[in-house]
Structure 1
Amino acid sequence: MLDQFTDNPKRQPEAARPHCDEPVLGRLGGLTVKLAETPAEIEAAKRLRYAVFHEERGKTGAAGANAELDEDAFDAHCDHLIVVDEKAGTESKSRPVIATYRLMNRKMAERAGRFYSAAEYDIASLLKRHKDLSFLEFGRSCVAPGYRDKRTVELLWHGSWAYVRRHGHDVMFGCASFEGTDPAVHAEALSLLGEQALAEDEWQVSAVAPSVSLPILAPEAYQARRALRSLPPILKGYLRLGAIFAREAVIDHAFGTVDVLVLLPVARLNPRYVRYYGADAGRHKAD
């Protein structure tokens, strides 16, 4: 049972093991979204994470024992969704990984000891309330500089949706972050989430780490449009998809962020986006 998980995930030797016979999930132009098939592809995803989280953003948490890798004990138990640039081979002729997501379902979480988000939120209580639903955790999302455009994000979302449909998941969830550890800096944006997209009681999750309650400001104390503009792009995307949020934001000193828990029940997804990507995730389907 997930509520009996230990706090420390068990580290096991890393191995690439996509959970399907067809790892390629979609293509758009020269980009391909797929599940990592080899240890080299997983390492490339970790190198990208290191470049973005540690070199670009100056994070200190989760730096691996190996130089220039962002890794932790969860990596060995997850699927790694990657976007590769087919037209930009390196000197070794490998295709560079330019975007990634880490995906973890209940069985993977059981092997790891817990979901990653359980360090900040009481995920076990949520799973108990919805024991008949299949949950998929998203994490470690990042895109390489030079590829942070609509095409890359669209393909990353397409691959995520294709994975969800292929495996029959009912709920997507995970933490999304604001830079810095002072919630007051993001008071308007956090208040917007708390006022307009707070999860109902059946989806609520309590924080188990230092946190602040949402909303922080009264509706008359901030401008909603300005607050929306100040949201990180990934959170804007989640809102458009129909995401709902836990009522507490966690302060993560190790990574230097303020984190919110995002919940995306498939049944509540914005129909516009379901139509756009296709109920069967066929929009950018690989030939």
Structure 2
Amino acid sequence: MQSMSKGRYNLRIAASAEDLAAAQRLRWLSFRGDQGLPEARDSDDYDARCTHVLIEEAAQGRLVACFRMLTLTGGAEIGQSYSAQYYNLALLQGYNGRMVEIGRFCLHPEWHDPDIVRLAWGALARHVDEHQIGMLFGCSSFHGTATEDYEDAFAMLRERHLAPKRWLPRVKAPQIFRFARALRARKADPKRAMAVMPPLLRSYLLMGGWVSDHAVVDRQMNTLHVFTGLEIAAIPPARAQLMRAAAG
């Protein structure tokens, strides 16, 4: 993937150990910086297998966002993904097409410019086209583990965005919130739901993405996350055109 720019921001692939370390520090700040812990890095064994994407503010070169990508040749390899630690993805093993897992997507807490997410999606559009990807997937994280903070969001996911039965992830993690069952009587307030929806998940949903029927309670990362999938062929043409326009 070539470098890209949009507005104040540049996007590039991590090219050194220093680049990866910067991404790991931003991940720590984004996921755990409010826990009063000393500055450190968020890292795991998957880092060595992934392509890491950095988005920097052009004027000062400050890292404002990052994510990583793991490309799979098909559903038969999905057990190698990070998500497979937390979800039973047996049904997706039958997916016949190239897949990319998007992981550890995070924004610097001081930066909320929507151009950052647009640039990230432009990069994903380019990767999808260059490598003939059929599905994007990953874990979309809500900050914190208090389920009551996100009941409108989860109720909306239950009403409108559950995975099709042929791909539906099953329970694997020991601590989960079965929101599709617990909130079946709740009517979502769309405004409140979208106000707390993570930016990446919001984008997935606008393009036809779907989620698991339960959230995993990840106390180590201090998040609630849902498995999220997006079949490229199902993206509305107008949305696909916007993604490709962002890719330049």
TM-score of the superposition, structure 2-length normalised?
Answer: 0.88
More helix by share: 2
CA contact (8 A) 1:173 1:264 kept: yes
The answer to whether the Cα contact below 8 Å between 2:215 and 2:224 also exists between their aligned partners in 1 is yes
Q: Is the aligned partner of 1:176 residue 2:148?
A: no
1:148–1:224 Cα change, 3 Å: closer
C-alpha distance 221-52 of structure 1, shift in aligned 2 (>3 A): closer
Amino acid at match of 1:52: S
CA distance in 1: counterparts of 2:29 and 2:177, whole angstroms: 30
Partner secondary structure for residue 247 of structure 1: coil
Q: Report if aligned partners of 1:77, 1:104 keep a CA contact under 8 Å in 2.
A: yes
Q: Out of 49, 53, 56, which is 1:84 matched to? A: 56
Q: Which has the larger radius of gyration?
A: 1
Deviation, 1:155, is 0.8
Aligned to 1:205: 169
- CA distance in 2 between counterparts of 1:250 and 1:32 reads 33
- Which residue pairs with 1:263 in the alignment? 229
Structure 2 equivalent of residue 47 of structure 1: 25
How far apart are residue 85 of structure 1 and its match?
A: 2.6
Larger mean Cα displacement after TM superposition, 213-222 or 203-212: 213-222
When residues 35 and 201 of structure 1 are mapped into structure 2, their CA distance, relative to the original with a 3 A threshold, is: same
* 1:111-130 matches, cutoff 5 A: 114-123=80-89, 125-130=90-95
The yes-or-no answer on 1:247 pairing with 2:213 is yes
Question: C-alpha distance in 1, partners of 2:194/2:107?
Answer: 22
What residue is the counterpart of 1:58 in the other structure?
Answer: 35
Gaps of 5+ in 1: 1-22, 89-94
SS in 2 for 1:238: helix
Q: CA 1:59/1:26 → structure 2, altered by over 3 Å: closer, same or farther? A: farther
User: 1-side partners of 2:109 and 2:196: how far apart?
Assistant: 20
Matched, 1:188 2:152: yes
CA apart distance, 1:219: 5.1
Q: Is 1:217 the equivalent of 2:183?
A: yes
1:277 counterpart (233, 243, 248):
243
Confirm or deny that 1:37 pairs with 2:15.
yes
Task: Tell me the equivalent position of 1:24.
Answer: 2
Amino acid at match of 2:28: Y
Instruction: Give the Cα separation in 2 of the matches to 1:59 and 1:190.
Output: 28
SS of match in other structure, 1:102: strand
Structure 2: unaligned runs, 5 residues or longer: none
> Is the contact between residue 135 and residue 172 of structure 1 (CA under 8 Å) also seen in structure 2?
yes
Aligned AA for 2:54? I
Aligned length: 246
Residue 230 in structure 1 maps to residue 196 in structure 2: yes
- Determine which structure has the larger strand proportion and give its number: 2
* Residue type at the aligned position of 1:58: Q
Q: Name the CA distance, whole Å, in 2 between partners of 1:271 and 1:54.
A: 38
2:92–2:167: 8 Å Cα contact kept in structure 1? Answer: no
Could you tell me how far apart the structure 2 residues matched to 1:59 and 1:175 are?
A: 25
Q: 8 Å contact 1:59–1:255 — kept in the other structure? A: no
RMSD of aligned Cα (Å):
2.7
2:87–2:171: 8 Å Cα contact kept in structure 1?
yes
SS in 1 for 2:171: coil
CA, structure 1 residues 283+54, in 2 after alignment: closer, same or farther (shift >3 Å)? Answer: closer
SS of the aligned residue for 2:28 comes to helix
Please report how far the alpha carbon of residue 284 of structure 1 lies from its aligned counterpart in structure 2 after TM superposition.
4.1
Percent identity of the aligned residues? Answer: 27
CA change 1:263–1:275 in 2 (3 A) is same
**Does the 8 A contact of 1:194 with 1:214 survive in 2?**
yes
**Contact persistence 1:53–1:59 (CA under 8 A):** no
